[in-house]
């Protein structure tokens, strides 16, 4: 599948609309030798997985494992990680996209993706000097390589987004012997699939010479082109489909064309998802093939041997049949003299003849020779014997063939097993609160906390409602925690246990953990006591709010957490919070204490312990597929150590 310029414009617009301000690159990984996976993270929004490939750029629902080494990976990690995506632009209607990334220190990096020919990826500095490039180029009109300034290729035809009626009329006058389809395709760089659709919608015969088009017909073509381009690029009137060949997706289309209507298709929720299905399938095919190269080689050798055995068997069967047929007919003539003309006719009819070698006569048929006898019955008997001998030999060929078939079946099963192994996993839809710190209290109340100043601000401004309770700690760097729908029961004194657990979470996820404090104080207030604006003449830092009225303190709260694996809406996920709340709902959990290991080491240790305690169960495979980044995000800021690991009450039940 090749993306056209107008399809690429839709993808660029869609990525731009979804990757809003605040997204930064939290990880870069190789997928294949010509594609990278960028994980874009936002403090309060869902992570976005963006594929940069020589085939296209798109948002994927999949999390790929590396299937090939990529020469850009290490440089891309160094130059792009922690940088925010500032902008994404297409070069006119060309199949070229540039993305600007800005680091916290204002350092800028530009990634240029080209989707024509073999495709290309280049990482440049702010002045467009190439830092690294996938495919260095040295052709007549440009040279691209590390250390050189990036140069765009010469423009191809008229920009389809900017084309005017006057330009189309001028192109018609220069068309000479081009038919309408080639004239449109070459003049404004449209792919065949859309050129044919333009001609159909405009009611123009496709084989008509462009030079003979009337002004009215050119106007029809012009308005049709503008309408189709706008529909495709802006996402209007989309009917996204995937053209299928059996179970294999071949091409994604944003609109149903006449040609696509003749093919086997399936609907897609959006054109972005259709592109993801097709181009991700290509990546999966590369991954599967790379993992079975040796098996495929062995399979090819065995299949060649099997073909030779089949040919040998067929040859033997044909010879045996020819010999038996001649034997039958000679038996019927056994009372005739060997010199009888009928015998010679019979031999000729069976492509047999009598040959003489060293004075001895032989009957030769199907490459086999039987000594001629005065008695034709004896000749016939000897021919039957030779046919039987050959058929017995055929049994050994069949035995060898059966062994080959068994070996081939075994290799095919091994290949199929490898192909079935998950080299990607689909991103599951997460609850909105999973962007924050969260847990369910023992009493069943949802507690949600901020991770930093940005998420503190978003949590209070977007998700605080009148029935919520708000927690904060008397510690610098404390998160805000919200207990959803808890205000009314709190007045009745019914959720003391939940309040204590949320207080523990608030102080434990504060700076107190990193500073090594053993306990700290927290307080809670009602939602109406939290003022989102600063008093007149004062300034509030980001993530800070004014608290009015009485504060309800929880004194000397122990700083202690647990991390566990819980069921959430039919899937397993990580959660971190007070030990009492986590062990009540987790299948497995680990108690965390301060100090000892940095977050990454602690994450590896926790993951390893969970895999070990889950044994050979299916959940072990699920845990293996939870990324270390997810473990790190769940842990408190600072060093942690695992006190012990145990099965939770959810697992015990």
pLDDT above 90 (res 483): yes
Q: Which of 116-125, 380-389, 445-454, 537-546 has the lowest mean pLDDT?
A: 537-546
pLDDT above 60 (res 490): no
CA distance 494 to 376: 113
Within 8 A by CB and 6+ apart from 44, the residues are 22, 435, 436, 454, 455, 458, 459, 462
pLDDT above 70 (res 150): yes
pLDDT above 70 (res 599): yes
What are 337-353's pLDDT values in tens digits? 666 678 888 888 888 88
**Which carries the bigger pLDDT value, residue 599 or residue 490?**
599
pLDDT above 80 (res 276): yes
- pLDDT > 90: what percent of the chain? 51
Q: What is the pLDDT of residue 186?
A: 86
Within 8 A by CB and 6+ apart from 369, the residues are 355, 362, 363
Q: Which two tokens stand for residue 489?
A: 């029961």
Within 8 A by CB and 6+ apart from 100, the residues are 85, 86, 87, 88, 108, 109, 110
What are 18-60's pLDDT values in tens digits? 998 889 999 999 998 999 999 998 876 788 999 999 999 999 9
In angstroms, the Cα distances linking 36 to 31, 68, 120, 214, 630 are: 5, 10, 12, 49, 20
Alpha helices in 142-214 (DSSP H): 165-173, 180-188, 192-202
pTM value?
0.63
Domain 165-288 has CATH 1.10.10: no
Q: Which two tokens stand for residue 91?
A: 């070069």
Q: Which two tokens stand for residue 392?
A: 């017995």
pLDDT above 70 (res 418): no
| Phi, psi at 28, each rounded to 5° | -130, 125
Instruction: Provide the β-strand partners of residue 526.
Output: 469
Kind and range of the H or E run holding 509: none
Q: Tokens 């709902």 sit at which residue? A: 585
Q: Hey, what CATH topology would domain 295-420 get?
A: Helix Hairpins (1.10.287)
Domain 5-144 has CATH 2.30.310.10: yes
CA distance 526 to 492: 14
DSSP state, residue 179: B
Residue ranges of the domains in the chain? 5-144, 165-288, 295-420, 428-559, 560-653
Q: What is the pLDDT of residue 569?
A: 81
pLDDT above 80 (res 122): yes
Mean pLDDT over 511-527 rounds to 93
Q: What is the pLDDT of residue 534?
A: 67
Q: Which of 434-448, 537-551, 605-619 has the lowest mean pLDDT?
A: 537-551
Mean pLDDT over 514-540 rounds to 84
CA distance 273 to 84: 24
């Amino acid at each position: 599948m090749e993306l056209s310029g107008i399809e690429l414009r839709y993808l660029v617009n869609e990525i731009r609309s979804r990757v809003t301000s605040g997204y930064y690159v939290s990880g870069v990984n190789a997928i294949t030798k010509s594609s990278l996976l960028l994980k874009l993270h936002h403090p309060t929004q869902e992570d976005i997985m963006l594929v940069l490939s020589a085939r296209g750029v798109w948002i994927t629902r999949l999390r790929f494992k590396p299937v090939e080494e990529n020469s850009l990976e290490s440089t891309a990690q160094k130059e792009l990680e922690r940088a925010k995506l500032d902008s994404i632009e297409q070069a006119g209607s060309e199949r070229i996209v540039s993305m600007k990334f800005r680091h916290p220190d204002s350092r800028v990096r530009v990634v240029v993706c080209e989707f024509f020919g073999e495709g290309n990826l280049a990482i440049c500095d702010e002045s467009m000097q190439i830092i690294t490039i996938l495919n260095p180029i040295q052709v007549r009109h440009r040279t691209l390589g590390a250390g050189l300034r990036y140069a765009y290729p010469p423009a191809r035809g008229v920009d389809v987004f900017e084309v005017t009626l006057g330009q189309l009329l001028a192109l018609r006058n220069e068309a000479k012997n081009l038919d309408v389809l080639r004239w449109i395709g070459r003049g404004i760089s449209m792919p065949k699939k859309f050129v044919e659709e333009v001609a159909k919608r405009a009611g123009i015969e496709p084989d008509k010479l462009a030079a003979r088009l009337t002004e009215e017909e050119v106007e029809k073509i012009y308005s049709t082109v503008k309408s189709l381009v706008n529909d495709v690029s802006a996402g209007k009137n989309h009917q996204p489909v995937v053209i299928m060949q059996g179970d294999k997706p071949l091409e994604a289309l944003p609109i149903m064309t006449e040609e696509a209507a003749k093919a086997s298709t399936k609907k897609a929720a959006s054109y972005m998802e259709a592109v993801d299905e097709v181009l991700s399938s290509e990546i999966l095919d590369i991954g599967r093939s790379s993992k079975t190269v040796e098996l495929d080689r062995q399979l090819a050798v065995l299949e060649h041997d099997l073909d030779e055995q089949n040919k040998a068997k067929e040859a033997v069967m044909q010879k045996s049949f020819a010999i038996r047929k001649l034997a039958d007919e000679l038996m019927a003539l056994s009372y005739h003299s060997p010199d009888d003309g009928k015998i010679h006719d019979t031999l000729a009819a069976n492509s047999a003849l009598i040959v003489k070698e060293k004075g001895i006569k032989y009957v030769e048929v199907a490459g086999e020779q039987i000594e001629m006898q005065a008695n034709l019955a004896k000749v016939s008997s000897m021919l039957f014997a030779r046919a039987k001998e050959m058929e017995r030999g055929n049994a050994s060929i069949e035995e060898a063939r059966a062994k080959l078939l068994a070996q081939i079946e075994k290799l095919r099963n091994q290949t199929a097993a490898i192909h079935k192994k998950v080299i990607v996993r689909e991103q599951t839809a997460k609850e909105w609160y999973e962007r924050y710190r969260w847990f369910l209290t023992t009493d069943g109340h949802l507690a949600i906390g901020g991770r930093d100043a940005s998420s503190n601000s978003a949590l209070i401004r977007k998700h605080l409602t009148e029935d919520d309770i708000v927690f904060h700690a008397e510690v610098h760097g404390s998160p805000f925690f919200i207990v959803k729908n808890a205000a009314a029961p709190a007045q009745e004194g019914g959720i003391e246990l939940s309040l204590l657990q949320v207080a523990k979470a608030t102080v434990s996820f504060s700076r107190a953990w990193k500073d090594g404090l053993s306990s700290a104080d927290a307080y809670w207030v009602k939602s109406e006591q939290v003022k989102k604006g600063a008093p007149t003449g004062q300034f509030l830092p980001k993530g800070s709010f004014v608290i009015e009225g009485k504060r309800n303190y929880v004194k000397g709260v122990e700083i202690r957490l647990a991390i566990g694996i819980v069921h959430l809406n039919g899937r397993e996920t990580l959660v971190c919070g007070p030990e009492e709340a986590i062990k009540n709902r987790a299948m497995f959990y680990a108690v965390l204490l301060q100090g000892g290991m940095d977050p990454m080491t602690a994450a590896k240790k926790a993951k390893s312990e969970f895999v070990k305690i889950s044994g050979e169960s299916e959940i072990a495979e699920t845990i293996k597929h939870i990324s270390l980044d997810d473990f790190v995000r769940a842990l408190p800021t600072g060093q942690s150590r695992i006190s012990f690991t145990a099965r939770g009450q959810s697992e015990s039940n």
